Structure 1
């Protein structure tokens, strides 16, 4: 195993840290989608999507970019740049400096996309690595489908999924705020859409520790961009009490927030109070208050976990900066990028509860309710579920989902109720092959049944074979998927066949680096990783990383390292000769390690002499 040696809050001195070497790197995730339809919908659809995330380092200065290429049939190739920026760790003050196309931190204030500069404390220098948060997206597909995810009007993700329940847990943290809009396009051309709330959660600080964030720049991707500045400071007064305050200033706008996090035997409470003042079109002045209370607690005796329970309420005059910008744009006859920016939310209630039943499984409840002022109506969603896994590997899941989505203009809405049942049964003692069966019924789509066989040819090769049938489809849909993990890339091929259509898709995911020794391919990389050089050791394994083997050019990638901690890197040859090195990188460093050519241990004769 590769195990970093953790140290206490003092961390490591700058002279103990490695800034790494110069090389270019990029994580890539590509998707190709083809659908052929006959009958009344006689058509053909082709689309391609390539997500790129990478950069290069010059000493401690690190350039990073994130964007994607998209090609839809009948349209030209489009490049969408999400972020381009420079960053530099400042260990002397426990901080990181960033310049370029950034997102504000999302702490105390809603996150903004802006061009500018940020100086913020970096907790990774003091404790375990805490990386950006992104939610898990779950849904149900009726066939092999294409899933597109957008945030704040920008497409950030695309992939292919098989029929049945799907889970996407590898989203990049492009922003801490802004609901995710998920589109599921089935092989027959039908489309389903749903929204996933996405926001950062409050955090407590250790006693005596502080955190700050300073940002200055000009907002982007808004209807009326403007200069703005953020100043945030948080401090741990006691073990159970943290306080914080923030100030956001922009042209004709100001907001002050005070935050207190208190924990006791009843749980952890976060009380947040804000006041805003804004200058609106026609010389209107608006000011108001926002109050929020959130709660979390795990009750050990009853095995009950309240993941987050929160309530917030705002007065009529309260405004967020994006709302002010949208109102100013509307007064100039310009359409806001996001129509919800013109809506004024009055309150929001959110609850997530998990109750363990011991040997009898687990029950969970999730609910959210939002309402707006004026002509907007309520949005409500709640889910009740049960799951259980037995010792023999059999698992059962039940859930009931009900949601109501209101409209802004006429207060009409759409109600949806979804019930689902899923069972997974292992075949054989190894558990490598399983059968999944599921049933789902919704008020809009009726009933759907699906069955799938999941297995593997080897440790790196997996397959799925299945079929699904729904009330909307007169014939069953057949699905197949093959996944293969190579040394330098993860590949997936999927296809489906239904009435009057067939569909085929392919996905590729991995990383590539360009350095003085050439090109090296490997699994997806984190922001801090290592390039291992071991000439003459082709096939040698990086201990703990099955996909990291020395290639024919004598190189391999270690996909992630813990910054500001010693990391043990072990190279194991085909002859079981093990070499080790330790490295402590800066955050964002691309470290290069040299290993000598392994030599097979000499055998000795009975007299103890080498043979």
Structure 2
């Protein structure tokens, strides 16, 4: 049975009051001793000062040791050299000399990652045999032990010679939490309306990210619904799969519809099975990507992101430059197709290419993936078989080797490559051989090679970061998997196979250059690609310069994309922003101004104000005006956002010459589990459900707007999987009749888990009673106080001060400092009517006589209850 932990406030009052009686303080407690009594290495209290009748004394020996604890079993967090290794029940055993020693079971020793070759033979035998409880001071005297009863935390200080070397940030897989059974529904709902030339068009879209967790199995479904009035409407399933972690191989198995990661080959959507590693299971210090999307909007615009023809993201952006950096991971290779739909119906389209950079890994580390199934792409009529395997391994500090294969009906590709770390930068080189069978070709098919080189270099002296993510040259007969499948699909349908473009050269460059002093920073990113069977060349780039002068930030950028007519078009943008007030004060509005020009001579100016409001910045707003030449004219836009405790609400409205548009949106997550339903305005893949009975209103630290609801529950998003995440509660704002026993916990969730954290609370009204005996003397110091049910609710401090937390508005408390009848008395109290919703900054104070009779006299001195 677990011992009941007394209130931390009660312990603080009691121990702080007793410190004035300490007659001597001697050297600290030995490292492996938790507590003792009557020894010179702690405090000594003379009980004769606290006698009641000259004969009976109070046993204060438990307070005479630094870090004193009552014998018993406690559920505690165990830390080894400040790193958490587990949470379990630990036994504290009283010794003949009244000291209390810490006793750990064999399973706990196994968690600690000890070097077995350095352990005593008897301890090693006990661990292997799981033979019950082992006293630390006897088994390993060199281990230091410290226990904090308030935090229920046991710290073990173990010499490094007794521990196996582990990487910084290592979290034992035994601490990974697979969570509780739960169902999740992440949603993003948007409605749009547009009126142009007297005609109104309405549309809506909704993205969902649903899941069910049962044990270690996580079921997931992602989909996107679009609706257009008098137009296309329908639902597109993006992914439907189930996954389960396999910690022993630092990976997971995935069954269903999803995508390959694209580390060596481009991302491929498939339906089948995949076994893949996850480097997040490695310590943070041993870990070896969705790209940012930047663009420019003239009005309140809708941005749609597609991959392989499927919508994976959609949002509304304000006029001016925008950046999207919260995409779910979509693999390491392949292109994203971005469409910006302006308020007047015009669109601009561009691609965001990205590829994995050099494949360097630490010596001995590796990445792997094995996939078997069939192609799952709605743009291709058939679903051919698909097989893929990849492997990367760090061979030395300098060399990493990698390779892989892809195979399907009448197609195969084999890749081999290496990455080198050189003083001139990191370089990778690989070659891929492919063969595609095409029935309409006389030779029966096409074969060829693709050569790719990557380069990356960071020069700290000049703040230069250059990445040529990929230069690829492909021979005429080479095709990657998706190109080959599209060509075979066109051939089977009788279409011209030359309508499928085959890449020849492709260069992708990303560079960032910090300039000396306060001269700002320059960046450029882009790619160029040409084709074997087409004369056109794709050239897309973005280049920019940014700096600041005091509180004024400014930037200039240029970009080149393909316009609605299929022609390449260059645009330029100058942007300036500054706070409208002191930057060190809260909720300061921001002034934004910009001028942009495109290759057709269209020039526009924009001016706007944006900011946040509310104690948690739960409100945000923006208002802007713009003017464009060439008949576009003037326009105005306004947008707002409210992050409530349960959902996120957005709205926008735009007005220009010949058009009006508006949009509304809702986003968030609904989580259901065995104890109820929790709503949160955030969307995430890994959550913690926080429970603190009765502590509604408590804020969850570092998560803006996350508070415990009426039932004392909250969903905490954005947990880092396989890492220790500390989740703290701020008791400010909770009902005054509730006290949090602990305010911080750590957890290392599996990816996709919904973990559950319970924070213990004590309920009742805090009172402070000046208690005296019938003869006017103070009630004995150190006496325990219990209610009519026998529950311990407090203790007696100096001068008879009784701090207690009681659950009833009236009751009789029993005060005991011994077992005989003359060592007990009763206190009766009556409180003013209490309100659970009220907040109190002070205790309710009384003076009362403690009598041996069934009733006592209560005299309120200074009642303060808020």
**Equivalent pair of 1:286/1:318 in contact (CA under 8 Å):** yes
Pick aligned residue for 1:497 from 655, 671, 681: 655
Q: Match for residue 291 of structure 1?
A: 451
- TM-superposed CA distance for 1:98, in Å, is 0.5
- TM-superposed CA distance for 1:9, in Å, is 7.4
Structure 1 residues 374 and 525: CA distance shift in structure 2, 3 A = closer
1:24 is paired with a residue whose SS is strand
Q: Match for residue 191 of structure 2?
A: 32
> What's the CA shift string for 1:538-557, capped at 9, x where partnerless?
10111221222110122100
**Equivalent pair of 1:573/1:598 in contact (CA under 8 Å):** no
Q: Match for residue 428 of structure 1?
A: 581
Q: Match for residue 395 of structure 1?
A: 553
1:512 is paired with a residue whose SS is strand
Asked if 1:226 corresponds to 2:391, the answer is no
State which drifts further: 580-589 or 458-467.
580-589
- TM-superposed CA distance for 1:456, in Å, is 2.5
Cα distance in 1 for partners of 2:264, 2:732 equals 53
Pick aligned residue for 1:368 from 527, 552, 566: 527
Structure 1 residues 427 and 117: CA distance shift in structure 2, 3 A = same
Structure 1 residues 436 and 14: CA distance shift in structure 2, 3 A = closer
TM-score when normalising by structure 2:
0.65
Cα distance in 2 for partners of 1:214, 1:274 equals 18
- TM-superposed CA distance for 1:472, in Å, is 3.5
Structure 1 residues 102 and 404: CA distance shift in structure 2, 3 A = closer
Q: Which has the higher contact order (CA 8 A, sep 6+)?
A: 1
Cα distance in 2 for partners of 1:4, 1:466 equals 50
Cα distance in 1 for partners of 2:563, 2:473 equals 20
Cα distance in 2 for partners of 1:54, 1:487 equals 20
Q: Match for residue 194 of structure 1?
A: 350
Cα distance in 2 for partners of 1:406, 1:438 equals 24
> What's the CA shift string for 1:413-470, capped at 9, x where partnerless?
7242212111111111136211111000102361010001112332211211110010
**Equivalent pair of 1:322/1:341 in contact (CA under 8 Å):** no
Alignment size in residue pairs:
598
2:750 is paired with a residue whose SS is strand
Pick aligned residue for 1:61 from 217, 240, 243: 217
> What's the CA shift string for 1:345-378, capped at 9, x where partnerless?
1111122221111311011223321010123321
Pick aligned residue for 2:470 from 301, 310, 315: 310
Structure 1 residues 452 and 604: CA distance shift in structure 2, 3 A = farther
2:328 is paired with a residue whose SS is coil
Asked which structure has the greater CA Rg, the reply is 2
Structure 1 residues 309 and 142: CA distance shift in structure 2, 3 A = same
- TM-superposed CA distance for 1:299, in Å, is 0.8
Cα distance in 2 for partners of 1:164, 1:514 equals 40
Pick aligned residue for 1:593 from 757, 762, 773: 757
- TM-superposed CA distance for 1:326, in Å, is 1.9
- TM-superposed CA distance for 1:333, in Å, is 1.9
Pick aligned residue for 1:544 from 697, 702, 709: 702
1:452 is paired with a residue whose SS is strand
Q: Match for residue 715 of structure 2?
A: 557
Cα distance in 2 for partners of 1:334, 1:510 equals 46
Structure 1 residues 19 and 309: CA distance shift in structure 2, 3 A = closer
Pick aligned residue for 1:243 from 366, 376, 401: 401
**Equivalent pair of 1:121/1:211 in contact (CA under 8 Å):** yes
Pick aligned residue for 1:521 from 679, 692, 708: 679
RMSD over aligned CA atoms reads: 2.7
Pick aligned residue for 2:613 from 445, 457, 460: 457
1:64 is paired with a residue whose SS is strand
Cα distance in 1 for partners of 2:184, 2:561 equals 43
Q: Match for residue 641 of structure 2?
A: 483
Asked if 1:47 corresponds to 2:207, the answer is no
Cα distance in 2 for partners of 1:4, 1:426 equals 42
Structure 1 residues 9 and 89: CA distance shift in structure 2, 3 A = farther
- TM-superposed CA distance for 1:80, in Å, is 1.2
> What's the CA shift string for 1:139-186, capped at 9, x where partnerless?
222211222222211122222121111222222234544422222222
Q: Match for residue 442 of structure 1?
A: 598
Q: Match for residue 88 of structure 1?
A: 244
Structure 1 residues 574 and 309: CA distance shift in structure 2, 3 A = closer
State which drifts further: 159-168 or 579-588.
579-588
> What's the CA shift string for 1:44-67, capped at 9, x where partnerless?
011111111120111111101100
Q: Match for residue 277 of structure 2?
A: 121
Q: Match for residue 325 of structure 1?
A: 485
> What's the CA shift string for 1:216-250, capped at 9, x where partnerless?
11111134421121111111011232111112122
Question: Gaps (5+ residues) in structure 1?
Answer: 408-412
Cα distance in 2 for partners of 1:334, 1:82 equals 29
**Equivalent pair of 1:224/1:328 in contact (CA under 8 Å):** no
More strand as a share of residues:
1
Cα distance in 2 for partners of 1:14, 1:152 equals 36
- Write out aligned runs for 1:147-158 (5 A): 147-158=303-314
State which drifts further: 525-534 or 90-99.
525-534
Cα distance in 2 for partners of 1:601, 1:236 equals 61
Cα distance in 2 for partners of 1:513, 1:212 equals 33
Structure 1 residues 296 and 247: CA distance shift in structure 2, 3 A = same
More helix as a share of residues:
2
Cα distance in 2 for partners of 1:4, 1:475 equals 62
Question: Gaps (5+ residues) in structure 2?
Answer: 1-81, 86-165, 735-739, 771-797, 804-844, 846-866
Q: Match for residue 104 of structure 2?
A: none
**Equivalent pair of 1:29/1:52 in contact (CA under 8 Å):** yes
Q: Match for residue 503 of structure 2?
A: 345
- TM-superposed CA distance for 1:597, in Å, is 2.7
1:295 is paired with a residue whose SS is strand
State which drifts further: 67-76 or 288-297.
67-76
**Equivalent pair of 2:357/2:467 in contact (CA under 8 Å):** no
State which drifts further: 175-184 or 263-272.
175-184
1:544 is paired with a residue whose SS is coil
Q: Match for residue 134 of structure 1?
A: 290
Structure 1 residues 124 and 175: CA distance shift in structure 2, 3 A = closer
1:476 is paired with a residue whose SS is strand
1:124 is paired with a residue whose SS is helix
Q: Match for residue 743 of structure 2?
A: 579
Cα distance in 2 for partners of 1:264, 1:447 equals 47
1:207 is paired with a residue whose SS is coil
State which drifts further: 597-606 or 131-140.
597-606
State which drifts further: 124-133 or 439-448.
124-133
Cα distance in 2 for partners of 1:450, 1:386 equals 19
Q: Match for residue 359 of structure 1?
A: 518
Structure 1 residues 475 and 587: CA distance shift in structure 2, 3 A = closer
- Write out aligned runs for 1:136-215 (5 A): 136-215=292-371
Q: Match for residue 301 of structure 1?
A: 461
**Equivalent pair of 1:380/1:405 in contact (CA under 8 Å):** no
Cα distance in 2 for partners of 1:464, 1:399 equals 23
Cα distance in 2 for partners of 1:526, 1:579 equals 23
**Equivalent pair of 1:208/1:237 in contact (CA under 8 Å):** yes
Q: Match for residue 627 of structure 2?
A: 469
Q: Match for residue 410 of structure 1?
A: none
